[in-house]
Amino acid sequence: MFELLILMMERVGLIILMAFLLVNIPYFKQVLLNRQKLQAKIILMVIFGIFVIIANLTGIEITKNTILPANFLPTISTQAAIANTRTLVITVSGLVGGPVVGTAVGFIAGIHRLWQGTMNDFFYVPSSILIGFIAGWLGQRKMHRHAFISTMEATLIAALMECVQMGFILFFSPSFTSGLNLIRFIAFPMILLNSVGTFIFMSILTITFNQEEQAKAVQTHEVLDLAAQTLPYFREGLHKDSARKVASIIQHYTKVSAISITDTHQILAHVGKGDDHHIPELEVITELSKRVLKTGEMTIARSKAEVGCSHPDCPLQAAIVIPLFSKNQIVGTLKMYFDNPDDLTHVEEQLAEGLALIFSSQIELGEAEVQSKLLKEAEIKSLQAQVNPHFFFNAINTISALMRIDSTKARELLLQLSKYFRGNLQGAISTTIQVQQELEQVKAYLALEQARFPERYHIVFDVEEDCFECLIPPYAIQVLVENTIKHGFKNRKDNNQVYVQIQKDDQALHIDVFDNGEGIPEKRLALLGKQTVESEKGTGTALENLARRIQTLYDNQGNFFIENNPEGGSHVALTIPQRK
Q: Kindly tell me if the per-residue pLDDT of 485 is higher than 90.
A: no
Q: CB–CB of 519/459 below 8 Å?
A: no
Q: Cβ(233)–Cβ(245) under 8 Å? A: yes
Q: Where on the phi/psi map is residue 187: left (φ > 0), alpha (ψ -120 to 50), or beta?
A: alpha
pLDDT the model gives residue 386: 40
User: CB–CB of 562/528 below 8 Å?
Assistant: yes
- When pLDDT is averaged across residues 129-151 and rounded to a whole number, the result is 81
Confidence of residue 146 (pLDDT cuts 50, 70, 90): low
CA distance 347 to 30: 11
Per-residue pLDDT at 103: 95
Q: Under DSSP, is residue 530 helix (H, G, I), strand (E, B) or coil?
A: coil
Q: Are 175 and 196 in contact (CB under 8 A)?
A: no
Which range, of 145-149, 242-246, 357-361, 564-568, averages the lowest pLDDT? 145-149
Least confident of 9-13, 38-42, 476-480: 9-13
pLDDT for res 266: 85
Contacts 24+ apart (CB under 8 A), 36-43: 36/98, 36/143, 36/144, 41/97, 41/98, 41/100, 41/101
Tell me: pLDDT of 388 over 50. Answer: no
Domain 1-214 has CATH 1.10.1760.20: yes
Higher pLDDT, 255 or 536: 255
pLDDT in tens, 562-579: 888 888 889 999 999 987
pLDDT of residue 538 exceeding 60: no
If one compares 163 and 25, the residue with the highest pLDDT of the two is 163
Most confident of 135-144, 168-177, 211-220: 168-177
The domain ranges of the chain are: 1-214, 237-364, 425-577
DSSP string, 449-501: HHHHSTTTEEEEEEE-GGGTT-EE-TTHHHHHHHHHHHHTSTT--S-EEEEEE
Evaluate whether 172 touches 131 at the Cβ level (below 8 Å): no
Within a 10 A sphere around the Cβ of 296, how many other Cβ atoms? 11
Distance separating alpha carbons of residues 458 and 451, to the nearest angstrom: 13
Helices (H), 315-388: 346-382, 384-387
Of the candidate ranges 155-164, 266-275, 373-382, the one whose mean pLDDT is the lowest: 373-382
Alpha-carbon distance 106 to 281, whole Å? 63
What confidence category does residue 452 fall into, taking pLDDT thresholds of 50, 70 and 90?
Answer: confident
What pLDDT shows up at residue 281?
66
Would you state the pLDDT for residue 384? 40
Residue of 13 and 467 predicted with greater confidence: 467
What region does 8 belong to: left with phi over 0, alpha with psi -120 to 50, or beta?
alpha
Q: In 64-193, which ranges are E strands?
A: 66-68, 81-83
DSSP string covering 278-297 = S-TTSBP--HHHHHHHHH-S
With 60 as the cut, is the pLDDT of residue 157 above it? Answer: yes
User: How high is the pLDDT of residue 571?
Assistant: 92
Q: What is the pLDDT of residue 530?
A: 63
pLDDT (0 to 100) of residue 258:
92
User: What pLDDT score does 110 carry?
Assistant: 92
pLDDT of residue 145 exceeding 60: no
253/250 Cα distance (integer angstroms): 5
Q: Is there a contact between 513 and 484 (Cβ–Cβ < 8 Å)?
A: yes
Residues in contact with 90: Cβ distance below 8 Å, sequence separation at least 6, in sequence order? 48, 52, 102, 105, 106, 109, 128, 131, 132, 135, 161
Above 50 in pLDDT, residue 383? no
Query: How many angstroms separate the CA atoms of 458 and 392, rounded?
Result: 23
Superfamily of domain 237-364: GAF domain (3.30.450.40)
DSSP state of 514: E
Q: pTM for the whole thing?
A: 0.47
Q: Among residues of the chain, what percentage have pLDDT more than 90?
A: 19
Tens digit of each residue's pLDDT (9 = 90 or more) over 286-316 = 678 888 888 888 888 888 888 888 788 889 8
522 burial (CB, 10 Å; 0-12 / 13-18 / 19+) is exposed
Q: Give the per-residue pLDDT at 176.
A: 85
Residue 380 predicted with pLDDT over 50: no
Find the range with the poorest average confidence among 61-75, 235-249, 501-515.
Answer: 61-75
C-alpha distances in angstroms, 42 versus 28, 93, 111, 141, 457? 12, 12, 18, 20, 79
Distance of CA 1 to the CA centre of its chain: 59
Cβ atoms of 530 and 546 within 8 Å: the answer is no
The residue among 285 and 395 whose pLDDT is bigger is: 395
> What CATH architecture applies to the domain 425-577?
2-Layer Sandwich (3.30)
pLDDT of 159 over the 70 cut: yes
pLDDT at 131: 93
